[in-house]
């Protein structure tokens, strides 16, 4: 078998497409020499082809793993302390004095009651706010968030006006509470979710991407518990909480930058597109209502989104008036 | 249809360059699981895989403003992940770069394991088990050639060993895997018959 080693190598070169013409010729004449050679070649080809799927399939918890990435980024970005050598003694004394003075100043600053910070989202379509506990908040345009300089007490409270997306650091000992102007509360331990409090205070929406959230409207203090991929809407005059347990969460599209559908019925797809782009869409073919759609649409204009929808499901797109669309035809695969 | 993901990736990359961390999350969601599988072929330890794959994204974020990707994002991340896995092997002073005899012994011991494993599994399972029990240097070199589409010269350069060594390792891997195949086939003569038909067809 030792004698065949060179040809075993040539065969693997052939399989990987890394063989020269001269090597290929040599291989061909070796193959023609005997049926055993052909047999060996057949076996090795099978080895090569049947190992194709080698590997392990992973299905990690993406939320947890991404948080680890964020922690690593944070650690890498933290500026390192510089080592400075002060040659002269008086410089060290001066440095020590400066340190004492600034420590005293910092102590005064910290012990004095500080005003909460108010942030208005007036730049661009969203603004990232970092909270003192490391939690992150994306404030949607025209939103307003109020938070203390440091969290104190057993709960972490912030006030929201408008719409925001929260990524809350897990801290079971200190629940995180979003207070809304109409008295509604959203309470969590550590999770990712969006809150929409309309300025006229007529309704509140909560959209949960991961974790567990307690949504307690003022009139219903016992509230409802929401878990991942659920949303709840509270309508003030109806005093009723409507819970959707299989939500698409495209109300959060403004934060991630695009609509997402995974096996979503066309009816829901159309409703989400209408809400996101503020347009009217008429689905003419009623048979298509239950057809399932899976796609990632990034921050594309409405026409591009409808075009790709049309391409997938063989619709014709009509525009009877500005802001109005009709989808005609369509076949569901 | 096929151009759509590329447009998507271009948008993600543009957002990433602009410092939008949600773009990083999207790229992460799409590629993290497959990078774990890629790294696992070189470093078969789940915790280390997670660590190394996460570092790929830390690096992507750190270099976001100077990114210059000529291939697909998938290919870029994959190569970055595999390089990291190889550096991990090197920095841990693993046996990979020794020429020690221990390998041969390890291979002999594992032959018994392979034999046990193949008895009740499919041919694919038997071959996968056999790859896992290859001596480390042999497994890594074979994996880079078979799964990462790297030429022998490229592998040699990456690992800092000679092309001749690479070729020896690949030959060795093919021989060990062929033995696993033959042992598996001995169990069912039908397989051999099918194999012959397939080759002659």
Compute the distance between CA of residue A154 and CA of residue A174 in angstroms, rounded to an integer: 5
pLDDT, tens digit, 9 for 90 and up, residues B47-58: 889 999 999 999
β-bridge mates for residue A157, sequence order: A177
* Domain assignment present for A217: yes
CATH number, domain of A303, equals 3.55.50.30
What is the model's pLDDT at position A9? Answer: 92
Last residue of a domain, one of B91, B114, B146: B91
* Domains contained in chain A, number: 3
| B183 touches A at CB < 8 Å | no
**Is B58 touching A (CB cutoff 8 A)?**
yes
Structure tokens at B131: 């790859």
Answer yes or no: do B175 and A8 touch at CB < 8 A: yes
In a domain, A235, yes or no: yes
A131 lies in a domain? Answer: yes
ipTM score assigned to the predicted complex: 0.76
Domain end position, chosen among A46, A61, A77: A46
Each residue's pLDDT expressed in tens, for chain B with a length of 201 residues: 444 557 778 888 888 988 888 889 999 999 999 999 999 988 888 888 999 999 999 999 998 888 877 778 888 899 899 989 988 887 765 544 444 434 444 444 444 554 454 444 688 888 888 898 888 889 999 999 998 888 898 888 888 889 999 999 999 999 999 998 888 777 655 555 565 666 665
State how many domains chain B has.
Answer: 2
Q: B84 vs A54, B43, B48, CA distance in Å? A: 20, 10, 11
Paired sense of beta strands A144-147 and A117-120, if any = antiparallel
* Domain at B10, CATH number: 1.10.1740.10
Q: In this complex, which of B1, B36, B62 lies closest to A58 when CB atoms are compared?
A: B36
Instruction: Suggest the residue from B19, B140, B178 to mutate for an interface test with chain A (most A CBs closer than 10 A).
Output: B178
State whether residue B188 is helix, strand or coil. coil
- Distance from the Cα of B52 to chain A's closest Cα (Å) equals 11
User: Residue A244: which CATH number?
Assistant: 2.60.120.1440
| B196 at A interface, C-beta within 8 A | yes
Cα-based distances in Å from A97 to A102, A103, A109, B158: 9, 10, 18, 54
Is residue A242 located within the same domain as residue A265? no
Question: Are A264 and A216 found together in one domain?
Answer: no
Contact B146/A69, CB-based, under 8 Å? no
Same domain, A205 and A313: no
Does A73 reach chain B within 8 Å, measured CB to CB? Answer: yes
Alpha carbon of B185: minimum distance to chain A alpha carbons (Å):
10
Q: How far apart are CA A91 and CA A81, in angstroms?
A: 18
Distance from CA of B151 to the nearest CA of A (A): 7
Residues B69 and B160 in one domain: no
Contact flag A55-B147 (C-beta cutoff 8 Å): yes
Interface contact flag, B182 A43, Cβ < 8 Å: yes
**Rounded Cα gap, residues B136 and B144, in angstroms:** 12
Q: How far apart are CA B58 and CA B69, in angstroms?
A: 16
User: Do residue A244 and residue A261 come from a single domain?
Assistant: no
Q: What is the model's pLDDT at position B114?
A: 46
**Which one of A250, A276, A304 terminates a domain?**
A250
Asked whether the beta carbons of residue A62 and residue B32 sit closer than 8 angstroms, the reply is yes
Note whether A151 and A272 are same-domain residues: no
Query: Is B49 in the same domain as B103?
Result: no
One domain for residues B35 and B82: yes
A294 in the same domain as A187:
no
Per the CB < 8 Å rule, is A256 touching B182?
no
Which chain A residues touch B12 with a CB distance below 8 Å? 298
Nearby residues of A242 by Cβ (< 8 Å), 6 or more positions away: A232, A233, A234, A235
Establish if A1 touches chain B: CB-CB under 8 angstroms.
yes
In a domain, residue A292? The reply is yes
Domain that holds residue B137: 97-200
Residue A186 and residue A275 in one domain: no
Q: Are the beta carbons of B58 and A56 separated by less than 8 Å? A: no
Tens-of-pLDDT digits for all 333 residues of chain A? 567 889 999 999 999 888 888 899 999 999 998 889 999 999 999 899 888 878 788 888 898 899 999 988 888 776 544 444 445 666 666 667 777 777 666 665 555 446 778 888 776 677 788 888 888 888 888 888 998 888 888 889 999 988 899 988 888 888 899 999 888 889 887 788 888 887 777 888 999 888 888 898 888 888 888 888 888 988 888 778 888 887 777 788 777 767 878 778 899 899 989 988 889 999 998 889 989 888 777 777 888 889 888 888 889 999 988 889 999 988 887
Asked if B43 and B118 sit in the same domain, the reply is no
Using the 3D structure, point to which of A250, A271, A296 is the last residue of a domain.
A250
Percent of chain A topping pLDDT 90: 16
The boundaries of the domain holding residue A22 are 2-46
């Amino acid at each position: 078998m030792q004698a065949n080693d060179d040809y075993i190598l040539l065969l693997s070169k052939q399989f990987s497409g890394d063989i020269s013409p001269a090597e290929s010729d040599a291989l061909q004449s070796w193959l023609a020499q005997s049926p055993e050679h052909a047999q060996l070649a057949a076996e090795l080809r099978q080895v090569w082809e049947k190992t194709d799927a080698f590997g392990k399939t992973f299905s990690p918890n993406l939320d947890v793993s991404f948080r680890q990435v964020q922690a690593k980024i944070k650690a890498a970005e933290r500026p390192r302390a510089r080592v400075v050598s002060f040659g002269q003694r008086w410089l060290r004394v001066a440095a020590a004095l400066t340190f004492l003075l600034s420590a005293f100043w910092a102590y005064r600053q910290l012990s004095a009651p500080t005003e909460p910070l108010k942030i208005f989202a007036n730049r661009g379509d969203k603004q990232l706010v970092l909270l003192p506990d490391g939690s992150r908040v994306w404030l949607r345009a025209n939103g307003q968030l109020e938070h203390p300089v440091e969290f104190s007490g057993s709960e972490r409270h912030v006030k929201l006006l408008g719409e925001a997306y929260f990524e809350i650091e897990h801290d079971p000992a200190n629940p995180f509470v979003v207070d809304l102007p109409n008295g509604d509360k959203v309470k969590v331990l550590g999770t990712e979710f969006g809150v929409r409090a309309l300025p006229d205070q007529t309704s509140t929406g909560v959209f949960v991407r991961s974790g567990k959230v307690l949504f307690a409207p003022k009139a219903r203090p016992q509230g409802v518990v929401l878990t991942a991929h659920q949303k709840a809407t509270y309508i003030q005059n109806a005093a009723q909480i409507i819970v959707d347990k299989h939500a698409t969460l495209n109300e959060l599209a403004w934060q991630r930058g695009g609509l997402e559908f995974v096996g979503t019925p066309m009816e829901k797809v159309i409703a989400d597109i209408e809400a996101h782009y503020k347009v009217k869409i008429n689905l003419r073919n009623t048979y298509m209502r239950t057809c399932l759609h899976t796609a990632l649409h990034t921050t594309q204009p409405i026409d591009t989104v409808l075009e790709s929808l049309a391409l997938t499901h063989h619709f014709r797109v009509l525009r009877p008036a500005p802001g109005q669309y009709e989808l005609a035809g369509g076949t569901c695969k | 249809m096929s151009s759509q993901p590329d447009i998507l990736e271009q948008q993600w990359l543009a957002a990433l360059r602009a410092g939008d961390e949600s773009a990083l999350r999207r790229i992460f969601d799409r590629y993290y699981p497959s990078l774990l599988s890629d790294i696992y072929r070189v470093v078969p330890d789940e915790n280390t895989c997670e660590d190394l794959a996460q570092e790929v994204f830390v690096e992507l974020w750190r270099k976001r403003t100077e990114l210059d990707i000529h291939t697909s994002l998938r290919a870029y991340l994959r190569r970055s992940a595999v390089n990291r896995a190889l550096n991990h092997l090197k920095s841990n002073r693993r046996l990979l770069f020794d020429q020690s005899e221990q390998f041969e012994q390890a291979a002999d011991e594992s032959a018994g394991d392979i034999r046990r494993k193949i008895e009740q599994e499919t041919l694919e399972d038997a071959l996968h088990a056999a790859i896992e029990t290859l001596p480390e240097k042999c497994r890594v070199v074979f994996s880079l050639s078979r799964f990462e589409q790297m030429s022998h010269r490229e592998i040699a350069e990456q690992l800092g060993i000679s092309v001749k060594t690479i070729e020896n390792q690949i030959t060795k891997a093919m021989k060990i895997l062929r033995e696993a195949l033959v042992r598996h086939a001995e169990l069912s003569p039908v397989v051999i018959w099918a194999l012959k038909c397939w080759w002659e067809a």
